[in-house]
Amino acid sequence: MFLFLGRTNQAQEISNANHSPLVESPSKKREGATSPIDGNQESQSGVSNFLDLVTVGDPFNAPDDLGVGAVDKIYQIGTYEVTARQYKAFLNAVAWKEDPRHLYHLEMESDKKIACIHRNINSDGTYSYNLIDELHGDLPITYISLNDAERFCNWLENGAPDATQDYQFLQQSTEFGAYAFSEQENQTIVESNPNARYHIPSDDEWVKAAYYKGNGINAGYWMYPTQHDTAPGNGLGDITNFANYQTYNGSLKNNFLDDALMITTVGCFNQTSTFYQNHDMAGNVAEWTLSRGPSEGALVRGGSWQSKYSWYGDNDLMRRATPKSYDPSTATNFIGFRIAVRVSQSSSVTENRADQSSSLDVQEVAPTAGKELGSNSAISPQEKALLTAVLITAGTLAGSSLMFITGEIIWDYFLAGMSMDQIAATFPTGRVVSIISHLAFNTYAMVKAEQDINAKNKN
């Protein structure tokens, strides 16, 4: 089930009576529309195996000597950075009609050091996005701001819908979920949802996945994210200790050609990995984390193709290197990102996937509560009608299709057996959707309490 799809008949009637149509239903597939997965995976149902993940275990591990890297839970993180191929699918889903949030940057094609995605302007004025060539599809995507990366997480959190879905929903799918975006006094405010599955890793999560030696809570840390304490080579030397950066012992790249492709495809050095089997956490492209530095900029880790080898061992790839920080709106040719995934530590809403395959279907974003929890479906028609009316009224007053859609999702979650607190926790704290969920369930609680009193009085 995709999140936030469809509305009740009552909601549709109210919408048609009081507002312009809220749902756009094109009669034919738009020009250039694509499915979220390209190539020979196109026939798969939904978005299967969209992310390649590894599980980072050893919860409650000790931090390193700088006080970083301690994580008190099991989580998952991308085996590789998000690629141009994956980002192209995102663009074709949410930025085909227009791109008001500037998710595509022209440098994604014009900068030959990282070139990967071309944007077409179709005959009807819409956009479609294509890889420059298939090989470039496996390059890590760059010219990505932290805000762009957070919106990609939102898209995943909402089920990675494709361009055939309701256009208004597609536009909203980047604005809430893992991160709630709002504008206040010409500033972009981003509020994190601590219960979201998909997110940008914290500095601790990134450092642990990259440098921790594993197999225990006091295992210690490597100096480089290659399971080595010596600086990596770049194409020469120990094949288990390679990274794409500027070295003196040989290179796969000419670091001085302005028009040369400077980044390698993900997994290029496939014999080099972290303990948890992540690749490319050293060099190639630096990666956003969600943590902030002293200047309030977001920290980036791992170094990039621009990083330089030092005879003194002082380089950006090192664990002890002071991480650089950048404004979240920064988009450059040497910063990309990697997705982290929250693993439920209990089976109350979503099952613990710590011991499952590293491939994760993004359709599983929607809680599978209906299979795992009890049912609240045995309620009276009067209760259902009242709860539905509350949701529809709130949506009508808000004048937003998002409120209608939210109402239906709340109702689905309720029938699946989730409590009011569990449902509210699936939405960003303090957002209007949380208010609606509480309003709806408070109404239900009052109705139920009144019925119980009436039942006792009859007895």
Q: Which residue has the higher pLDDT, 253 or 417?
A: 417
Q: Which residue has the higher pLDDT, 135 or 139?
A: 139
Cβ distance 267 to 247 under 8 Å? Answer: no
Label residue 346 exposed, middle or buried (CB < 10 Å: 0-12, 13-18, 19+): exposed
Average pLDDT for residues 171-182, to the nearest whole number? 92
Q: Which residue has the higher pLDDT, 6 or 139?
A: 139
Q: Which residue has the higher pLDDT, 423 or 92?
A: 92
**pLDDT exceeds cutoff 90 at 435:** no
Going from the C-alpha of 227 to that of each of 173, 241, 308, 413, the distances in angstroms are: 38, 8, 20, 44
Tell me how many helices (H) and strands (E) the chain has: 11, 13
pLDDT for residue 106: 96
Enter the tokens of residue 254: 């000419």
Average pLDDT for residues 162-179, to the nearest whole number? 90
Mean pLDDT of the chain: 74
pLDDT for residue 381: 53
User: pTM here?
Assistant: 0.68
pLDDT for residue 339: 96
**pLDDT exceeds cutoff 70 at 379:** no
Average pLDDT for residues 382-404, to the nearest whole number? 49
Do you know the residue count of the chain? 459
**What is the CA angle 179-168-398, rounded to 5?**
75
Q: 157: pLDDT confidence band, cut at 50, 70 and 90?
A: very high
**pLDDT exceeds cutoff 60 at 174:** yes
Cβ distance 62 to 217 under 8 Å? Answer: yes
**pLDDT exceeds cutoff 90 at 115:** yes
pLDDT for residue 310: 75
Q: 140: pLDDT confidence band, cut at 50, 70 and 90?
A: very high
pLDDT for residue 215: 92
Q: 452: pLDDT confidence band, cut at 50, 70 and 90?
A: low
**pLDDT exceeds cutoff 50 at 368:** no
pLDDT for residue 202: 97
Domain boundary assignment for the chain: 1-25+372-459, 31-366
Minimum mean pLDDT range among 138-142, 240-244, 278-282, 366-370: 366-370
pLDDT tens digit string along 208-239?
999 999 999 999 999 999 999 988 988 778 89
In CATH, the architecture of 31-366 is Alpha-Beta Complex (3.90)
pLDDT for residue 307: 92
pLDDT tens digit string along 285-328?
999 999 998 888 999 999 999 998 876 667 899 999 999 999 99
pLDDT for residue 32: 40
Average pLDDT for residues 354-375, to the nearest whole number? 33
**pLDDT exceeds cutoff 60 at 95:** yes
**pLDDT exceeds cutoff 80 at 418:** no
Enter the tokens of residue 98: 């227009």
**pLDDT exceeds cutoff 80 at 415:** no
pLDDT tens digit string along 231-268?
898 877 889 999 999 886 544 444 445 678 899 999 99
Label residue 30 exposed, middle or buried (CB < 10 Å: 0-12, 13-18, 19+): middle
Give all strands (DSSP E) within 264-405, no chain letters.
Answer: 286-292, 298-301, 325-326, 335-336, 340-342, 359-360
Q: 362: pLDDT confidence band, cut at 50, 70 and 90?
A: very low
Label residue 411 exposed, middle or buried (CB < 10 Å: 0-12, 13-18, 19+): middle
pLDDT for residue 6: 26
**pLDDT exceeds cutoff 90 at 48:** no
pLDDT for residue 257: 55
